[in-house]
Structure 1
């Protein structure tokens, strides 16, 4: 058996301590790297959850309501969740646009009655057999809320009359009425764009069919 003097024993103990310290330090590094690999995965899952946005889909859909979609989803994704009806005029919407949190997505319905279906040409008058001529307004205008020229008066029209306008469904018609009740009569037809859900595209489609007189 090798006999070591005190100095040699101290050297051996020092070497053993260095080896143990190095091993422990290396083990700590391995554990730290493993935790770093797990953390990004957890953070990524949490971030994906936070990246959901909330949108309101209404109009010509089977299930209007509030939906959660992933951030970066397109308008068509939200509309498909609500189920577009056969009357939905999807061509008038920017389906490829990205949704934003809190966005209102109004799905317009297709234009009103086809004049050919009732056998009357819009803007003509027909005899009633009583000596009076009755003016037949173009599709999209109704009596009572319509002016003499067949335009829908957005200051007096009810939901059913507003619903006949291109791009306006029952939900959006109700919004127009609610806005009118809260803010008073529209001063110009352009004020209609102040109603949530009515953009420039919708307004262009109906501006020739409405009045505030």
Structure 2
């Protein structure tokens, strides 16, 4: 018996080893497979840009005083880009005695401008006024005597003052109010004490006025 074991011991060991391997493999196959773990990937969302508010400047309207040979002299509010022709149209159009040849109907307007439409037969100023302002000597020539056609600041009416370059009806009224409150003007320069009349306006009108 011992001789037999010695003779076949190697084969027996091989068979036992095979049985062990087969058993181990069987145990591994029978083990439950673990569930896979899902890893969620978080993607950062891109923030939606907020709309940027834009502000568009609206051009201001033009305040234009139209006087002279028009049907309805007054102050009119006109849109930006308007021309002299638009201002005359807003004032009801020119009257039959208007001398439109002497003004530039295509001239662009600016805020607080005065447009004076001359009448046929009115005196022509020494130099043309590009902005359509009235010739300062038109209403004063028959009333100023030896003043060379200049307007006397101490006696001028609102209508006469209104014809001066750079002086509209509002400033003309301030001149009269100042005169009533402070007495007659002692010098031409004193008119700059009136609100709305600065050095630039004074230089425009000083050659057309006088203080007596």
Q: What is the TM-score of this pair, normalised by structure 2? A: 0.47
The structure, 1 or 2, with the larger RCO (C-alpha pairs under 8 Å, 6+ apart) is 1
Q: What is the TM-score of this pair, normalised by structure 1? A: 0.47
The structure that is helix-richer by fraction is: 1
